[in-house]
Structures are given as C-alpha cells and as structure tokens.
Copies of this chain bind each other. A is one copy, B any other.
C-alpha cells in the first residue's frame, strides 16, 4: 500500500501478568486500535509484556524508536506491582519524582489525611512528562516523548485516551469497504482476488472467513486512504463475486 507518507503509526504495549496468565482478557488493545483508526493513526504492532521492569524498558525502547506513538496500558496504580512509571523513566533515562500537579489532582478526590505513601506513588511521574487528565478517578496518566502512559482499567483508560487524543498528530483516515462473499468458499475466489490485489496496489485487500453454526461466511475487506481507488477496487471485487455467484460457485 502506498500513501505511507501520510501514515501516522503507533504501537500498543499492554503491561500485565494478568493478561499473560490468561486470567483477564485484554480489551484495551482492541479499543485503542479502533480509536486510533478512527482518528487516522495506524496501529502497526501490539505487544503484551509482564510486570517486569527490564521487559517493559526493552519493549518501550524498541517500539518508541520505530513508531510515531506508543500507547501503554497498565501498571500505574498504587500497589507494589505497579511499576510502569519507573520503567518508563528508566527507558528514557530520566529521573522520576512526585509531581505537585499530580498530587493536586489526587487531592480533588482523596482527603489530605488519607493521601498515604501508597497513594502518593500514583503521583510519581518521570521528569519532563506532560500529565494526561483522568476524569474518572483523577490519578493521571502521562506522555513523555512519543509514549502515552495510561491506566489498565478500561473505563479509566478510555478517559485518558480522550484526553490524550487532541495532542496527537494524525494522518489521513484509512477508508474501509467490506464486501460479503457469503457462501462462496475462499478457495474459489482466491486466484481472482490475488489478481485484484495486484491490480489495485494502493488498496490493501484481505479475505476473512467466519465459521458459525450457519456455515462459512467470508468477507473481503478493502482498505485505502484514497476514496476513488478504494471505490474502483470495491466495484471490481463486487463484480468478481457476482460473476462467481452466477456461475453457481458454492463449492
């Protein structure tokens, strides 16, 4: 696919033993990928790593060097297993300190006499980071360089992403057309589809089978930044499916 010059890229880094152990299903990476697609940012990679500082540092440094943005979720709460802020500071080679702006945010919901040591941990922010407001529970996320650090609890992460989004550079949105191939097997249209993919090189074309009790239903998904190229490829694909359907291509 061309049009890469306009693309703004991103990676999502999910931090959490509970995802890797299979205890919790990660919902955040899917939410972020959809959200970013809507604002014209392409998610190019997702990683899930454990609550281990060296692993977080290595992943952050690999991803931030490669993509325009890195979005992390998880590990910024008050307990001992919340080590993301420290890991990010280490990845950037900067110090980390209690941030008076973050303390002020916490004091909006926590009475001063209950702002104990554990809760103050949530105000430890790498030096040079901008805070990201948390309209749900106040303890902020932050952005340092091209890395956006958010909570793991989905509703809090959603609020932080809303707060961070206006600060992002965004590109042309990828347009999508989904064409139902219904009951035509992939193996019947694969050759023709490959020819279309070669012909419309600015359009990314994928084929996705879905199996259910009703049988197999396939979808062909076309993606491009240019509406007219997408339209031409979609028309050619629909014509191909229609031709195969009329030929009775059910097997």
The answer to whether B80 and A24 touch across the interface, beta carbons within 8 angstroms, is no
Say yes or no: is A25 at the interface (Cβ < 8 Å to chain B).
Answer: yes
Interface readout for A182-199 with B: 1 if CB under 8 Å, 0 if not? Answer: 000011111101100100
Say yes or no: is A156 at the interface (Cβ < 8 Å to chain B).
Answer: yes
Residues of the B chain whose Cβ atoms lie less than 8 Å from the Cβ of A35:
22
Q: Is the interface of A mostly helix, strand, loop or mixed?
A: mixed
Say yes or no: is A163 at the interface (Cβ < 8 Å to chain B).
Answer: no
Q: Which of A21, A156, A188, A221 counts the most B-chain CB atoms under 10 A from its CB?
A: A21
CB contact between A26 and one of B30, B153, B206, B221 (< 8 Å): that residue? B30
Say yes or no: is A180 at the interface (Cβ < 8 Å to chain B).
Answer: no
Bound Cα distance A114, B46 (Å) = 38
The answer to whether A34 and B22 touch across the interface, beta carbons within 8 angstroms, is yes
The answer to whether B22 and A81 touch across the interface, beta carbons within 8 angstroms, is no
Q: List the B residue with the shortest CB-CB distance to A197.
A: B80
Which residues of A1-45 have CB atoms within 8 Å of chain B's CB atoms?
14, 17-27, 29-30, 33-37, 42-45
Say yes or no: is A209 at the interface (Cβ < 8 Å to chain B).
Answer: yes
What is the size category of the interface that chain A forms with chain B? 35 or more
Q: Which of A14, A81, A114 counts the most B-chain CB atoms under 10 A from its CB?
A: A81
CB contact between A208 and one of B24, B33, B136 (< 8 Å): that residue? B24
Query: Nearest 7 pairs between A and B by C-beta?
Result: A118-B190, A22-B34, A22-B33, A80-B194, A46-B48, A119-B187, A79-B207
A residues neighboring B (CB under 8 Å): 14, 17-27, 29-30, 33-37, 42-51, 55, 77-81, 110-111, 114, 116-119, 121, 136-137, 153, 155-156, 174, 176, 186-191, 193-194, 197, 204-211, 221, 223, 251
